[in-house]
């Protein structure tokens, strides 16, 4: 329940003290300076008003002004809710000041596109650059769709009919893959969830089951321990550039860290007496502890615990393909992708599929095949459920059968 109370800034003062109003609402706290001052000896702590006193004759008018502020915040809070706007401290202060001056602010309802535009700007303060890029790309396609259909797309436009039309546009007109289409829908739902939370949207069609995020099993690869040894043993002395990239990649393969994390490793992340790496991951904010593999130890010592820095993830991915090529990872891998609504199959040499994320997938898969308990691997990779983890690793049917051969059930 929303409730206002008045407190003195300096309750023990012998002179006048400023009075604050504190408004508790929806598990939040709004603090507002009333501009009123009073000597604490004239203040009734229980009623939170001035005492009746011959030494403070203006107490009726003083209390009336506090009553006006309390009534004002209650009116503002109720009005925002009635107008479908989620209150926050900034809005409460803005509307209360207007209320006390006799001006009632009429809420300006944002359009869907106005909201997305402002939300992206706001996210620049606390989201990673890659996330902002995704948001901008999704917004760009949405605007292009509206223009192509000559339609004004707003909150009330987001229906199942819109969903079917938009998925068809992304799939056939824009020739995007099934997973990319799914990513667009997922991000659109992020925008709509945020707008709904803030009171700008009341249309909940996007929450229906048929408004689904499409997902296709990706043909990402992992590298076996033998293949990682091939990479480690490849002579790259004539190419310091590739040598540095190879070392960073191997760090990822034996720690399970993302690119954004393994490039941040510093000497203070290493607990030498326990041979453990401890780091807080950027994406989830989780603190993880990882035993140091001998390969990781060797590479850290090589660079005196100051790892080289690649320019970008994209640049490292490009160089990695050169490293994998030199390591002779040229076996053919069949890939499938649904693009433009058509299932395409292609045979690609493995080195062309190696990326920084291959390192993390290789780590999880190799530990799983080595019979490390799933829960222990998930503590490092950050997967919340075993189901999501098992989708992440890359184990063939034959590998799974080999793994089961040693199980007591088959012996």
Split the chain (411 residues) into runs of 10 and give each run's mean pLDDT. 89 95 93 95 95 92 95 92 81 91 74 93 85 96 95 94 95 91 96 88 94 79 93 95 96 94 91 91 86 95 91 92 95 76 80 92 91 89 82 70 71 68
Same domain, 395 and 307: yes
Give the per-residue pLDDT at 252.
95
Domain at 119, CATH number:
1.10.150.130
φ, ψ (nearest 5 deg) of residue 288: -115, 150
Q: CA 316, 319, 323, 325 torsion: positive or negative?
A: positive
H helix intervals, 83-148: 89-100, 112-123, 129-148
Give the per-residue pLDDT at 107.
58
Q: How many residues does the chain have?
A: 411
Same domain, 230 and 159: no
CA separation, residue 160 to residues 67, 185, 205, 295, 390 (Å): 49, 12, 7, 52, 32
Report helix angle 112-123 to 178-197, nearest 10: 90
Same domain, 26 and 163: no
Q: Map residue 57 onto helix, strand or coil.
A: coil
Same domain, 276 and 387: yes
- Quote the distance between the C-alpha of residue 336 and its chain's center: 29
The parent domain of residue 190 ranges over 112-207
Query: What whole-number distance in Å separates Cα of residue 145 and Cα of residue 139?
Result: 10
Domain at 280, CATH number:
1.10.443.10
Same domain, 187 and 329: no
Give the per-residue pLDDT at 256.
93
Say which residues have a Cβ less than 8 Å from residue 387's Cβ, sequence separation at least 6: none
pTM over 0.85: no
- Quote the distance between the C-alpha of residue 101 and its chain's center: 41
Same domain, 255 and 362: yes
Give the per-residue pLDDT at 83.
74
Same domain, 249 and 350: yes
Q: Map residue 124 onto helix, strand or coil.
A: coil
Query: What whole-number distance in Å separates Cα of residue 65 and Cα of residue 21?
Result: 12
Name the token pair of 53: 């006193």
Same domain, 348 and 401: yes
Give the per-residue pLDDT at 219.
59
Same domain, 262 and 374: yes
Give the per-residue pLDDT at 383.
83
Name the token pair of 278: 């401890």
Give the CB-side neighbour count of residue 86, counting CA atoms within 13 A. Answer: 13
Same domain, 86 and 126: no
Same domain, 179 and 241: no
Give the CB-side neighbour count of residue 75, counting CA atoms within 13 A. Answer: 16
Q: Is residue 379 part of a domain?
A: yes
Q: CA 147, 151, 156, 159 torsion: positive or negative?
A: negative
**How many distinct structural domains can be found in the chain?**
3
């Amino acid at each position: 329940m929303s409730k206002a109370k008045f407190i003195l800034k300096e309750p023990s003062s012998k002179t006048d003290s400023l009075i604050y109003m504190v408004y508790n609402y929806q598990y939040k706290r709004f603090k507002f300076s009333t501009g009123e001052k009073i000597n604490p000896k004239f203040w009734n702590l229980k009623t939170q008003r001035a005492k009746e006193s011959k030494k403070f004759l203006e107490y009726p008018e003083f209390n009336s002004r506090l009553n006006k502020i309390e009534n004002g915040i209650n009116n503002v809070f109720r009005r925002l809710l009635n107008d479908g706007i989620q209150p926050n401290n900034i809005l409460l202060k803005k509307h209360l000041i207007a209320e006390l001056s006799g001006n009632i602010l009429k809420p300006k309802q944002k359009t869907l596109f106005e909201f997305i535009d402002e939300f992206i700007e706001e996210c620049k303060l606390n989201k990673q650059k890659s996330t902002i890029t995704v948001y901008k790309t999704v917004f760009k396609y949405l605007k292009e769709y509206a223009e192509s259909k000559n339609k004004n797309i707003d909150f009330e436009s987001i229906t199942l009919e819109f969903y079917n039309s938009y998925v068809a546009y992304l799939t056939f007109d824009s020739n995007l893959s099934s997973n990319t289409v799914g990513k667009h829908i997922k991000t659109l739902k992020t925008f709509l969830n945020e707008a709904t939370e803030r009171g700008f949207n009341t249309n909940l069609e996007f929450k229906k089951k048929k408004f689904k995020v499409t997902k296709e099993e990706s043909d990402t690869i992992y590298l076996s321990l033998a293949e990682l040894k091939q990479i480690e043993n490849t002579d790259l002395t004539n190419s310091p550039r590739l040598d540095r990239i190879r070392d960073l990649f191997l760090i990822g393969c034996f720690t399970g860290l993302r690119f954004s994390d393994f490039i941040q490793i510093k000497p203070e992340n290493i607990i030498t007496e326990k041979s453990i790496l401890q780091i807080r991951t950027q994406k989830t904010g989780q603190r993880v502890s990882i035993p140091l593999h001998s390969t990781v130890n060797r590479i850290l010592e090589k660079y005196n615990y100051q790892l080289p820095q690649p320019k970008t993830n994209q640049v490292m991915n490009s160089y990695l393909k050169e490293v994998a090529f030199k390591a002779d990872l040229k076996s053919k891998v069949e890939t499938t992708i649904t693009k433009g609504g058509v299932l395409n199959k292609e045979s690609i040499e493995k080195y062309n599929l190696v990326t920084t994320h291959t390192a993390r997938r290789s780590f999880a898969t190799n530990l799983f095949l080595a019979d490390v308990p799933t829960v222990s691997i998930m503590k490092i990779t950050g997967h919340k459920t075993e189901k999501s983890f098992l989708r992440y690793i890359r184990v063939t049917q034959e590998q799974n059968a080999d793994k089961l051969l040693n199980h007591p059930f088959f012996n």
